[in-house]
Structure 1
């Protein structure tokens, strides 16, 4: 999408829903001073000549290195202009980052050097990377000027001041940051998630960013002073999205060791990335083990406003156990699930009665492209604790 349509979309979104005025987006720490100790995974650590990628734009081995400034005082990220299957695309990432900075962190007037249709940084980067007329030196020159211009705006306090006036994060920016985290931590080791058993509670699947935005922003209308809990949180994607996009206290619990290890890596990179982007997420708590036996999760559930359970592949016994846990939920708490706890809890007549007694269930439909395990759409359920 081009910049103008993104700007229109942002304004339309702000006008169509209430803004959480209590949400504080800015990380004070990100603008105080450069933290030389800040550890994050550079793109070059995932996609480089060392990783058997090949140079692009006619670059020689000596010319592939580039650095990218983020809208804070923190150090720049290192990329290489290379290509490799399923690897980070430095050219596309550079253009996306410049665009996201211009549209989110700057006013229209401040963004003019970035967005000018004739000679703005975005236009110059796009022209230089055009497949028919690839201009390596032009691309690197535009990137250097972008770095210097943005850093000057950060040092002058312009970006920090603009962030103070923002109370919501555009969903496409949140999704991009979360993808950055995932691409540097989970994607290189994604084969570890294939070692799951069908027909058991150990089956892995992800709800994708647009689905979670719809659930948390549009349907349950979560705010930053609320509590979110994901039961069976996998590698932590949804927990991190809730903390970043909503700014709420966000909990997750997972029992599979490989997923827990990747979730831990994601959480570490997530906090570093938020600092790079100058953003303050909500509290993140990722627990290991069986959520039925985790006291911290039970305590969080008593305060929860929204609970997510991707129970598409859960056994009937586990779904029955969950209904017992839902007895502790406060009135009005929303439970989002892929299977209904009232219609499908048939293993015990009494438990089924409990489900229908304590929950009001609304059946909804999600379109294609909302879950990782199929391209097709499907049903999901929003249950409200009576």
Structure 2
């Protein structure tokens, strides 16, 4: 069965509706009146101290890896993932969580028929006209955005030997990491190299598979698909995406038929074809005309970064003191994209994440929007992993040839960090995941908001303006206009349920 029939990590945009005090009766009402109860969040993933300024957002598990092995949509917290795995999985299966990187991609049976229904799905998924429509929407949203990386390789010979400090896939998923060869390859045949559109530097892979490891063949397939469908025109992409003889289809067919040698031959042809386009300046020219990075590519690049930096050391994020009221969790990629759209964040603006964890959202804002992006975190392990992500993120952006906005990751209490306090004065959008913050910390934040410029948007899980306070005595109500909204299911890491959030505007 084609995996187009499976549940995709990338969802069609869900309409966000305002919360009303009285809701009409519906046969199957969705939760809109109250946020998910914190009692549903496992207490074993709590923060280090009651007064910490860290947000409950930077979950150590990538989106798809947070689901239980039986496919349920209930997310796991760090401690349960590492210390108390479900009966259907061993403890080792949770130590190296893996993300399912890509949107649905085609799948062919061994006797694949070109007239099958899955072919129509496959062709529809890679339709260049739909790609152009997406890019045109990005262009209208932010016409000033420039996507091409200033240091991308344009096919010149001078930089052919340059090496980038990337963490190769082979460093985290290989035979030496107890993985097994796939597609009938012997142990000495699994090594391959993958070419990217923005650099002449190639990434080393091994065609192996292991529990909670990067699956090299699938990673390569996703890269090829994104390169062809996003970086090339319809005519240029035809040799890659032709549904009968295209390179992508041949790679997919060889993968499903366990034809490792055929897979490597098709991958060699992909590398040669992309190299020729790079030398002609085609990739650089096309990137120059782009005004945004599609969300599916943003999510994939961020997953590549996470899988090579955070996932191998995920145990570090579970070393927190129990008994506090700050829970470690994450707002997932689709939720953050919705927030960017609703706040109308653009590349000439400033984004600040107060309590940025391992830096996921800060990096997403820099890549997806291209804006100046700030984050602050106080817990040492999370800060160290955030720094590792930032370094890998910079190298990955060069591999892909895309230019992110400037990224600044600060350490310490955001109430006292001078660079963060200064950045807040210029901020256009501020994210505060205060799902588990104390009332005292929320009051401290309100006082910080006094320095925000008029019109700044503050996105939070809980409102700073409460009904039981008198407006004349309540600083929050005097400086903030609050809009109450709902988010759909599976938009946060700590529960699969829908919930509420707020966007407050500085008066």
Q: Distance in 2 between matches of 1:10 and 1:321?
A: 45
**Do structure 1's residue 325 and structure 2's residue 451 form an aligned pair?**
no
Show the counterpart of 2:382.
259
Show the counterpart of 1:182.
306
C-alpha change, 1:303 and 1:186, in structure 2 (3 Å) is: same
Distance apart, 1:201 and its partner CA:
6.0
For residues 1-386 of structure 1, the aligned pairs below 5 Å read 1=104, 2=122, 4-6=124-126, 7-14=128-135, 18-31=140-153, 33-34=159-160, 36-130=162-256, 133-197=257-321, 200=324, 202-216=326-340, 218-343=341-466, 353-386=474-507
Contact 1:244/1:282 (8 A) holds in 2 = yes
Contact 1:196/1:204 (8 A) holds in 2 = no
- The C-alpha deviation readout for 1:239-272, integer Å capped at 9, x for no partner, is 0000000000000000011100000000000000
Structure 1: unaligned runs, 5 residues or longer: none
Distance apart, 1:199 and its partner CA:
5.3
Of 108-117 and 72-81, the range deviating more from structure 2: 72-81
Number of residue pairs the alignment of both structures matches: 381
Q: Distance in 2 between matches of 1:197 and 1:94?
A: 40
Give the alignment's TM-score, normalised by structure 2: 0.72
Contact 2:207/2:216 (8 A) holds in 1 = yes
Q: Distance in 2 between matches of 1:153 and 1:343?
A: 58
Structure 2: unaligned runs, 5 residues or longer: 1-103, 105-121
Q: Distance in 2 between matches of 1:195 and 1:78?
A: 32
Distance apart, 1:5 and its partner CA:
3.0
Contact 1:200/1:314 (8 A) holds in 2 = no
Contact 1:200/1:313 (8 A) holds in 2 = no
Of 42-51 and 189-198, the range deviating more from structure 2: 189-198
C-alpha change, 1:86 and 1:76, in structure 2 (3 Å) is: same
Of 165-174 and 22-31, the range deviating more from structure 2: 22-31
Q: Distance in 1 between matches of 2:196 and 2:472?
A: 52
Contact 1:252/1:286 (8 A) holds in 2 = yes
Contact 2:185/2:261 (8 A) holds in 1 = no
The CA RMSD measured in Å over matched residues stands at 1.8
Give the alignment's TM-score, normalised by structure 1: 0.95
C-alpha change, 1:229 and 1:142, in structure 2 (3 Å) is: same
Q: Distance in 2 between matches of 1:37 and 1:82?
A: 24
Show the counterpart of 2:84.
none
Show the counterpart of 2:63.
none
Show the counterpart of 2:98.
none
Q: Distance in 1 between matches of 2:423 and 2:277?
A: 41
